[in-house]
Structure 1
Amino acid sequence: MITQQDVKYLGAECMLRRSSLRSQLLLAVALACCAILSTQVMIRYMWTLPQFSHLALYNDKLEIKRFKSVLQLQLKRLQNIAYDNAVWDGSYTKALARDQQWFKDNFMIGPSFQHLSINGLYFYDNEQQLLAGMSVDNNLQPITITMFSAPQDIPTKLLISTEEVQQNQLMPVSKTSFIKINDKPAVVISQSIAPSLEQGVSAGTLLLWHYLDSSFIGELMPLANDDIRIIDPAQESDIALHISTMLQTDDIQIKLWKNSLYLGVLGLDNQLLLVFAIPQSPRIYDEALFNPALSAGIAVSFLTLLLFYLYISRKLVEPVRHLLKTISYVNFSNDYSARANLRGHNEIHKLGRLIDQMFELVAQQQQKLTMKNRQLQDLSNTDALTGLANRRYLDEYLETLRNTVVNRKQPIAMLVVDVDFFKRYNDFYGHAMGDKVLQQVAIALQESTHRATDLICRYGGEEFVLVLENTSKEEAMVVAGNLCQAVEKLGIPHQTSAASKVVTISVGLAVKPADAIIEYETLFAWADAALYIAKDNGRNRYEVA
């Protein structure tokens, strides 16, 4: 059966759960995790990734500079070849003499092209007429280039005129141009033919050309031949928007597109001729916002906070909750025997032990108070002289019987006892002796009733009342007779009694039959009336109402 205290305790337990310190700690840990996650993401987004990106762009810039430098070195090599063969007294004198056979015999041979690693070599006199020339493919097989064989088809910008040499103070003039030869991009090196001392009028022009293809890249960077691509702008119209730099300029603006960097080459008409696609520098970092390192860091942070939460929960929250639960239980149940029994050395455990000591002290005080209250209760319900129940207890006892359903269905007998001529006894023997008589009579009454359900009380003065539960009229008459005999057998002298030479009693008896509804006040009145009849009939006897 759940009592009101149990309901209060359960309510306190629910309140304790709603205001759980553990929930607040868990919320704090969750907020800390969110703060750590936000901080790490913010740091990565605002600082780490931009720094890595800046470093990557710097490496991209170095990469394209490196390729550009290698490309310029290759062009420089071709320029040196042109210079060595054009600025030479042998070529100079033979060009002035227009000795075509000499040029054919000394230059127009396959091994020379293979050794020089070029695709074509042409000599023109100072009137821009072809002296000798030859072109080969990458397999050193001769090919015909109409543009170089017919002077009228050669772009004027490729040949060097005598006026250009004169404007250069008779010093050799060199040009590097990019054109398409047989619909393939190529580089053309133009060098004025001059004497070895470099000073003099031009004897003509030397043209040297090389395809800008995979073999050209292989000569530049053998290990990167498969990575670098050559793109025709006509095939990708948007490529011009993503070029980072031009070969002919120094400015570099890194633009990544399709994981590549793009270097453009302008032709004679200043139009985009071809584009080199260079792979971007390797990314040694993860560009994703949530990379494995960040995820691992977050996981470690969460694990650390979880361990912190478990530690705090075990060392602080659990003791506090246990202490609060114990205090709540004591508060709502008034059971000060409960103990927190905290084992530990921190302040919470010390507080728990102090509270246990306080509960122990309160329990001791409560026990003493209970004993005092019980003593007071006994004093308030007990006759001080005889040790029997007093009239107040009788009233409470009868009220309990009235409210008990079982007793309503049972017979109940009530006996009213009076010591015969007790006033005369007091006057003759004194009140002290009278008190002893009352004590002896009380003992005799107790010894004559043995059942736990028999109540004997001192009603007042020399009058006693007995209540016998579940006792019939016949049984009550036997008890009444025994009472009279027991007191008379005490043999207490009573010289002033008109009924006997010893102390005697008179008894009035009334019985409530089973299943009868009779108020106990009425039953007492009947028994009291029977007592007066017993007195009128000579005393030392009992009468039944």
Structure 2
Amino acid sequence: MSILIVDDSPTISSLIKSYLINAGYTDLLFAASAKQAFQMLGVTLHGKLSGNFTTSIDLILLDIVLPDMDGREVCGIIKSIKHLQDTPIIIVTSLTDSAHLEMAFAAGATDYVTKPVNYIELLARISSALKLKHEMDHRKAREKKLLEVTRQLEKAVNQLNRLSSLDGLTGIANRRRFDEYLHIEWRRNIRNARPLSLFMADIDFFKAYNDTYGHQAGDECLKSVAKTLKNTLQRPGDLVCRYGGEEFAIILPETPSSGALSLANKMCLSVEALGINHQKSPAGNYVTISIGVATTLPTENSSPKEIIAAADQALYNAKHNGRNQVYVGRSGNTTAG
């Protein structure tokens, strides 16, 4: 335990030193003024950190009358420094009237010892102060550990939540995230009275692709298509999801039919431009996709199920009409315009 004795009297300092050494306290530091004490603590006279201190101090014995500053003011400055706030300060004083002591305690003093210093009293108060310091340090260490455990737990939970929203193969959002995000954007677009567009996209003749090139090649194909669809999106709020199997869903908040149609056509062209050979596809020489597009103005009387059904029907029509194309659907409040 490191103890700093701040007293301008060599006699008092020597007496306290002999008492403490006799009691087994050997890590002792001495300062004859506030300035010297501040230097050892790494503090300036204005209560700022100097970044230069002798050692960690566990207890301060502070004379109330110093040559360069009132001890109570010194106490207040020390206690204003965050990392020193838990360091106990015992005032050593011959001023025992209540007004002086009240001012010392108000400045942050933990206890006081009267002059002339009594051996038994000094050791008892030091023991009590150091015990308090030990308990506070132990509590802070537990709190720090608990905060770290909490931080790690929050990080793990966030990571788990993120992974639970991603498709394991393609790395894009999964069906669970699709349902969640569509509901969120549906409510937001109701509030903002803005249209919402939804794509349902399907890789053309994907079963034939798997049968021809194998399931490993099929997985690589899914990943390439997913990456291309994601990279084609133009805004952070747009979301592409793996809806199931070789089917993808794209949510476009605040997007009218004209903008949706333009993006859907771009997606079709981008996937075909990957140049993934597909010998068994009647739709072309390469892997292609079909997209069904639906756009609606969400209202309190409508449901996300309606736009999903409309996009599904549009996808069916795109496939029925030859695939490798975009088809814009209509249903109820769902509109192409």
Q: Which category describes the TM-score, using the shorter chain as reference length?
A: 0.5 to 0.7
1:116-265 to structure 2, matched below 5 A, reads none
1:295 aligned residue: none
Alignment of 1:399 with 2:174, yes or no, is: no
**Do 2:202 and 2:247's aligned partners in 1 also have CA atoms closer than 8 Å?**
yes
- Within the candidate set 336, 350, 366, 2:134 is matched to 350
Q: CA, structure 1 residues 530+406, in 2 after alignment: closer, same or farther (shift >3 Å)?
A: closer
Cα separation, 2, equivalents of 1:482 and 1:309: 79
**Do 2:230 and 2:239's aligned partners in 1 also have CA atoms closer than 8 Å?**
no
> Aligned AA for 2:224?
Q
- Within the candidate set 248, 262, 267, 1:483 is matched to 267
2:162 aligned residue: 378
Cα separation, 2, equivalents of 1:505 and 1:407: 33
Q: CA, structure 1 residues 529+405, in 2 after alignment: closer, same or farther (shift >3 Å)?
A: closer
Structure 2 portions without partners, runs of 5+: 1-95, 112-127, 330-337
2:250 aligned residue: 466
1:22-101 to structure 2, matched below 5 A, reads none
Alignment of 1:495 with 2:259, yes or no, is: no
1:304 aligned residue: 97
1:315 CA displacement:
3.5
1:401 CA displacement:
1.9
Percent identical pairs in the alignment equals 36
- Within the candidate set 169, 173, 177, 1:389 is matched to 173
> Aligned AA for 1:490?
L
Offset from partner CA, 1:106-150 (integer Å, 9 cap, x none): xxxxxxxxxxxxxxxxxxxxxxxxxxxxxxxxxxxxxxxxxxxxx
Give the number of the structure whose alpha-carbon radius of gyration is greater.
1
Cα separation, 2, equivalents of 1:522 and 1:515: 11
Q: CA, structure 1 residues 356+307, in 2 after alignment: closer, same or farther (shift >3 Å)?
A: same
Question: Normalized against structure 1, the TM-score is what?
Answer: 0.38
**Do 1:495 and 1:501's aligned partners in 2 also have CA atoms closer than 8 Å?**
yes
1:357 CA displacement:
1.6
> Aligned AA for 1:475?
G
**Do 1:416 and 1:463's aligned partners in 2 also have CA atoms closer than 8 Å?**
yes
1:193 aligned residue: none
**Do 1:408 and 1:515's aligned partners in 2 also have CA atoms closer than 8 Å?**
no
1:421 aligned residue: 205
1:392 CA displacement:
0.6
1:420 CA displacement:
0.6
Cα separation, 2, equivalents of 1:407 and 1:430: 47
Cα separation, 1, equivalents of 2:283 and 2:189: 42
- Secondary structure of 1:403's counterpart equals helix
Question: Normalized against structure 2, the TM-score is what?
Answer: 0.60
Offset from partner CA, 1:410-453 (integer Å, 9 cap, x none): 11100000001111111221111000000100111012112111
- Within the candidate set 489, 501, 513, 2:297 is matched to 513
Cα separation, 2, equivalents of 1:311 and 1:459: 71
Number of residue pairs aligned between Structure 1 and Structure 2: 218
Cα separation, 2, equivalents of 1:478 and 1:405: 21
Cα separation, 2, equivalents of 1:371 and 1:433: 35
Task: Work out which structure has the larger RCO, using CA pairs closer than 8 Å and 6 or more positions apart in sequence.
Answer: 2
> Aligned AA for 2:244?
G
- Within the candidate set 218, 222, 245, 1:438 is matched to 222
> Aligned AA for 1:404?
R
1:106-121 to structure 2, matched below 5 A, reads none
**Do 2:110 and 2:129's aligned partners in 1 also have CA atoms closer than 8 Å?**
no
> Aligned AA for 2:179?
D
1:538 CA displacement:
0.5
RMSD of the TM alignment (CA)?
2.5
Offset from partner CA, 1:322-359 (integer Å, 9 cap, x none): xxxxxxxxxxxxxxxxxxxxxx9632233222222222
**Do 2:190 and 2:300's aligned partners in 1 also have CA atoms closer than 8 Å?**
no
